[in-house]
Chains A and B, each alone.
Chain A
C-alpha cells in the first residue's frame, strides 16, 4: 500500500462535470452505522491487549519541572510505567513546540503535558496520573489579554495573510466624513468542543529498527486530516512518511480542533514507543480538551467607519487585538473579511497580539471571519442607525464592483440577492423602523440582519485513484476524512457523475494515509479539493481507458491549479436574519427565528448541505448567546472547562432555524460547480442576533455573548 502513495500522480486539467447525481439529495452512505452506534471511532477500534494512557498536566503556567515523583504511581496496581521528560524518547526535530512534548523541563502553559501514565485499565491509569507528583520551579507568567499588552506585530496572520493593510488616507477621510461610527467590539475565548473528544489508538511495531519500509507507527486518530498527522509526526519521530499509517474512518466532529495534530497525538506516539508493541489507547478527557486541543482567541476589534450622510462608506478602519501563545504563534485573521466586504476608497486593517503563557490557540470554525464579521456587521448596523437607513439598503449602497482587496473581479458576488431573498422570506419589510418598537406581553421583539462571507479555497496536495472493477463499477480512493460533513456521500456522487455512472457503482475508499494524499477537512475546502482530484482522475481515466473498461486499469491523478485563482476573487456570500425576543423583567433572550440564505455555487447534496448550513447557524447562535470561556489570569487556565460551564446550544435553545441557497453553479471555482459550505453558516450569525437584540430593546451589545444581564436596564422595562 505504501508503494501506491509514492506513485507520481498525473497532472490533469479538469473540465466541468455534467450533473446527474450532483444536485440531488442522497441519504448518508454511513447512516446505518451512525444511528446504531456501530461506526467505530478512533479508540473504539479493537486492539489486542491495549494499555491505557492518562495525561499528567502541569499545574503552573510557566516554569521548570524539577522532579517527577513516580513511586506512588508505579506502586498502584495496574500501572505499568510513567513516561516523563527524563525517560521519553528523544525527538529528532523539536521546532513544533506544541508537539515536542516531554523533551525538556520547560513548562510553557498551565495544562501542558508533563508526564504519561501507562496502565492495564483506564481506572488504574487515571489513578496513577493522580499519584504522580510533579515538583516545579515556578516563574512569573502573563496570561491575560489586555489592550495594553496586545502590541506585538506578527509577520503574518493565519494562514499566510498580510498582518496590516493600508489604502488611501483613512484619517483625512474620517475627518471629512459626515457620519462616523467608532466603537470597540469583543469576542470571548471559544472552545471548539466536538462531541467526540480527541483520541488516538497507537501501535509502535515491536521490531521497528529493522522494519525498513513497512509501517512502524500505526494510528487510529480522531483527525480532520490523516496526511497532516503523518507529515507533522514523521520528521519529529525520525520516520519516513510511509512508516506511519493513520486511519480515521469515523470522526466525531472537529470544527477545526482536529485540523492539525495536537500534543496528545505525540503523547500517544511516545507512549506506544515506550509500550514496545502493545497498542495504547489515549482518550483526552473533556476537561483536558480545554487546555490541549486548541481554541479561538478572544478578540478586540477597534472599528471606525466614516460615511457620507447617505451611508456611502469613505473609510473603514479595523484594528484587531488578540492573543497567541508564547510557545507557538497563531494569529487569527480577524480583519481579513474587512478587506474585501464593502467598497470604500480609504481602508486600514491591522492585527496586534499579546504573547501569553497560555495553551496554544488554533483553528475554530471560520477563523477570522467569525469574530471579524461579528464586529463589522454590528458596526454596519450602527452606521445604518446613524444614517437612518435600513440595514439592507446600507449594504446595497456599499457593494463593490470589484474585490476591494485585490482589484480583481469577483467570481459571482450575490450578496445583495441573498439579502433581498432573505428579506422577502423573513418578512423583513414589516419590521418597525425604530428600535424598541414592538412588545408582545412581557417580551420585547426585534429583528436583525448581517452579511456572511467565506473565501473559496482549494488546497494543494490532493490526488485520487480511479480503478475499474469491470461491469461499470469503479473503485475510487483518496485519503480524505468525513468528520460528519457528508464527504463520504458527496464524494461518491461526484465520482459517479465524473465517471458517468450511478453512485452505487462507486466503491469509495477514504480516511487512510496509505491512500492517495488529501488535504485537511478544513477551510471549507474539502469537497472542492478532494472532488477536484477525483474529477481529474476520472476524466484522465476515461481519456485513457474509455467508457467500458475491463476490470484492472487504474489512474492516479491530481487537478492542475485553478487558473481562476489568479484572475478572480473567489468567495461565497450569505445573509443571516434573526428574530429575538427579550423578556422585559428578566432579560431572558430567545431566538424564535433564524434564517440563512447563501450563495455557494452548486449544492451537491441538498440534504447534507442543509445540515451543514443549519449546523453552522446553530453554532453561530450558540456563540451569540452562550459560548464564553473564562481564563483565570492568576493561574493561566480555563476555568469553564466542561460542558456544564462552557455552554453550547442545546435542543431547547434551537427553535425555527432555516437555510436556503440560491440556484447557481460556479465553474470558475471547481469542475463540480460548487464552492465550500462548512463554515459560512457561523459567519455573521452572532451579529444578526446582536443587531436583533438592539432592535428589540435599544440596547447595543458590542461583546459576545449576548446575555440576559445586558438588558436589565432597558428603558421602559422598570416599573
Chain B
C-alpha cells in the first residue's frame, strides 16, 4: 500500500510516497536519492544507516518510513553546510585523525558521534558510567562504549576515538 508522507531532510521538506513496507533508510536512499546514510546490514547491527532524527541518533533501517511522517532528519551530508563545504567539527576531526578508510561506515559514525556528544551533555549515562547520579565524564572507555553500535570493518576505531576525544574538548 502506498502512503504519502513528508520528511524534512537536511533542512529541505520532501514529499514522498512510500510503500508501507519501506524503511526510512530505503525511503531516503531509493525514493529521495539521499545516499549519505548507508546500508551495511539492514538489521540494526552495524550502525551505517545512523542519522539524527529529531535531534537524536537513530537507525533508519529499523524504522518504517510510514511511522515517521513529519520527522526532521539530518544526515552527515546535512551536518556540513552544503554551499560552502564547511564541515561539522566532528567531520573535520575525522579528517584530521584519519578516522576512516573506505568511508562506508563513516557518515553513520559521524552522525552517531554528534548525537552521542549531545547525549553526554544532557547527562545520559552509559554501560561504562560508574556513577549514574554524577555528570558523565567522557573518558575513552565511555566513548568506546557509546560508539559500539557503529561497526567499522577497516578498523579505524583508533582514529575515530581520537577524533571524538578532540571534538569533545578533552585531551588524551
Contacts and interface: CB of A to CB of B under 8 A. Distances in A.
A651 B153 contact: no
B106 interface: yes
Contacts of B26: 122-123
A486 interface: yes
A46 B33 CA distance: 8
B16 interface: no
A44 B103 contact: no
Interface stretch (B52-60, B91-99, B117-125, B129-137): B91-99
Interface stretch (A23-31, A150-158, A455-463): A23-31
A615 B40 contact: no
Nearest to B157: A654
A435 interface: no
B39 A197 contact: yes
A651 B147 contact: yes
Given A36-B87, A251-B102, A643 B95 contact: no
Interface in A34-48: 34-41, 44, 46
Interface in B73-124: 75-77, 79-80, 85, 87, 91, 94-96, 98, 100-107, 110
Contacts of A127: 21
B151 interface: yes
Give the size category of A's interface with B.
35 or more
B41 interface: yes
B150 interface: yes
Contacts of B77: 36-38
A639 to B, nearest CB: 15
A134 B111 CA distance: 42
B14 to A, nearest CB: 16
Contacts of A255: 153
B139 interface: no
Contacts of B101: 253, 484-486, 608, 611-612, 615
B30 A651 contact: no
A42 B169 CA distance: 37
Contacts of B38: 37, 41, 195-196, 252
A608 B37 CA distance: 24
A283 B26 CA distance: 12
A607 B153 contact: no
Contacts of B13: none
Interface centre among A121, A252, A255 (most CB of B within 10 A): A252
Interface in A578-622: 607-608, 610-612, 614-619, 622
A655 B141 CA distance: 9
A611 to B, nearest CB: 5
Given A123-B22, A614-B155, A651 B148 contact: yes
Interface string B137-163: 000010111011011111111111100
B133 to A, nearest CB: 23
Contact of A37 (B35, B42, B98): B35
A35 B102 contact: no
A252 B155 contact: no
B150 A651 contact: yes
A127 B19 CA distance: 12
Contact of B41 (A35, A615, A643, A654): A643
Given A611-B159, A649-B155, A36 B102 contact: no
A194 B38 CA distance: 13
Give the size category of B's interface with A.
35 or more
For the residues of B in contact with A, the DSSP-based class is: loop
A650 B95 CA distance: 20
B154 A611 contact: yes
A643 B151 contact: yes
Interface centre among B36, B87, B158 (most CB of A within 10 A): B158
Nearest to A41: B104
B107 A643 contact: no
Interface centre among B40, B150, B161 (most CB of A within 10 A): B40
B43 A642 contact: yes
A330 interface: no
Contacts of A643: 40-41, 43, 45-46, 151
Contacts of A122: 26, 30
Contact of B103 (A250, A644, A651): A250
B8 interface: no
B23 to A, nearest CB: 9
A359 interface: no
Nearest to A196: B104
Given A195-B102, A611-B156, A644-B45, A651 B35 contact: no
Contact of B29 (A44, A617, A651): A44
A28 B98 contact: yes
Interface centre among A30, A31, A485, A618 (most CB of B within 10 A): A31
B48 interface: yes
A484 B35 contact: no
Lowest 9 A-B CB distances belong to which pairs?
A: A484-B102, A37-B36, A618-B155, A252-B104, A34-B103, A37-B107, A615-B155, A484-B101, A44-B35
Given A46-B33, A483-B102, A651-B148, 9 more contacts: A30-B103, A123-B19, A195-B46, A196-B40, A252-B38, A252-B40, A253-B102, A618-B157, A650-B148
27 contacts: A27-B98, A32-B87, A36-B79, A37-B107, A41-B38, A41-B104, A123-B22, A195-B38, A195-B152, A195-B153, A195-B154, A196-B38, A196-B40, A252-B40, A286-B43, A286-B45, A286-B46, A484-B101, A484-B154, A611-B101, A612-B101, A615-B154, A643-B41, A650-B148, A651-B145, A652-B144, A657-B157
Interface of A: 27-28, 30-41, 44, 46, 52, 121-124, 127, 193-197, 250-253, 255, 283, 285-286, 483-486, 607-608, 610-612, 614-619, 622, 642-644, 648-652, 654-655, 657
